[in-house]
Copies of this chain bind each other. A is one copy, B any other.
Amino acid sequence: MKNNLPTLKEIATQLNISISTVSRALHDHKSIGLRTKTRVQELARQIQYEPNQTAIFFQQGKTFTIGVILPELSEAFFSSAISGIEDAAHKSNYTVLMGQSHDSVEKEKQLIDTMKKHRVDGLLISISKNTTNYEHFEALQRYSIPIVFFDRIPKIPNIHYVACNMINGTVQAINFLFAKGHRIIGMINGPEKLPATKERLEGYILAMTKSRLKYDPSLVLNCDLTKESVCAATEKLLTGKRRPTAIVTFNDYVALDAVQQAQKMKFKINKDICFVSYANLPLTNYTAYPPLASVEQFPYLQGQKATETLIDLLSQKNNALAENGNAAYYKIILESQLMVHNK
């Protein structure tokens, strides 16, 4: 039951030439005569020779595999991102070794370990929600496995990353609401520590002050993304003394929960209260009251860009000009963009 696949050696013995000649012939090496070249290629095709990649990987110390670690594939953002990753990877003949951390730090470490063992050439990571310690990433330096982070970026210096700037989109969202006549605009933001949360807040403050609406902190609430906390925040906003006529929510899921809560409180959606959100998920097409608009974060593009820069990094490494310590770090930032839903 052995894998008796054809090897270079077989071709060589059958043709009575040396293995190296066969190898070179198949690679179209110039130093091989045309006659032997065709003879070899002919036979190779005939017996369906295919090089043993594992041997090549080993010999070249390169696997043409990139590892991807992300929190949760069932989130539309990430499943879209991985499509971008895959497409970009395949275009350069890389394959994708995938793993989900499910937002567990432990799992994340394990995954990094497996990826390391499998000698992936590079790594694409979107860190878990709970990761605060970054040693396991830094340990990879030793193996000279480059990492490109995307979307969820650790807060350490000297890393490559691709992210989407939420400030701009947030400003657009506020302006959109302002143009529609809203003057009291609330926000249900995400967990306080998340950079994503901070960026949204920053954009909010920026836009509000620019619009000469003063920034009222009581209109900005944090939630932990659970349905309960979203409902609580919604209720608090809608019963506060300054009742907003529009609310910007951390993402589409939050928006949907908030809508439900508002309805339960007998508010008329899009009349008494409007919602604008982030993510632009397709599912919002099916809901009774989708947010009026969503800030798009371009996950596919993020995945694609991240992969491209990683592959770029990898080819640089090959050119061995990485000797100098003045390594430059890629910081690629896409601009988010408000997508208004046509009703």
Contacts and interface: CB of A to CB of B under 8 A. Distances in A.
A97 B95 contact: yes
Contacts of A131: none
A79 B74 contact: yes
Interface string A161-179: 0000000000000000000
A1 interface: yes
A114 B90 CA distance: 9
Contacts of A3: 61, 143-144
A118 B286 contact: no
A117 B57 contact: no
B73 A63 contact: no
Interface string A95-106: 111111010000
Interface in A48-78: 48, 50, 52-55, 57-58, 61, 63, 65, 73-74, 76
Interface in A1-37: 1, 3, 5
A72 B90 CA distance: 16
A153 interface: no
A79 B73 contact: yes
A213 interface: no
A222 interface: no
A117 B256 contact: no
A340 B117 CA distance: 45
Interface residues of A, number: 52
A283 interface: yes
A137 to B, nearest CB: 16
A80 interface: yes
Given A74-B83, A99-B86, A100-B83, A119 B52 contact: yes
A86 B3 CA distance: 27
A323 B1 CA distance: 7
Contact of A286 (B52, B100, B256): B256
A236 interface: no
A317 B5 contact: no
Nearest to A117: B53
Contacts of A100: 83, 86
Contacts of A116: 50
A232 interface: no
Contacts of A1: 144, 317, 320, 322-323
A119 B76 CA distance: 31
B322 A117 contact: no
B98 A96 contact: yes
A156 interface: no
Given A95-B118, A257-B286, 8 more contacts: A1-B320, A3-B144, A57-B58, A65-B97, A74-B83, A95-B114, A96-B97, A256-B286
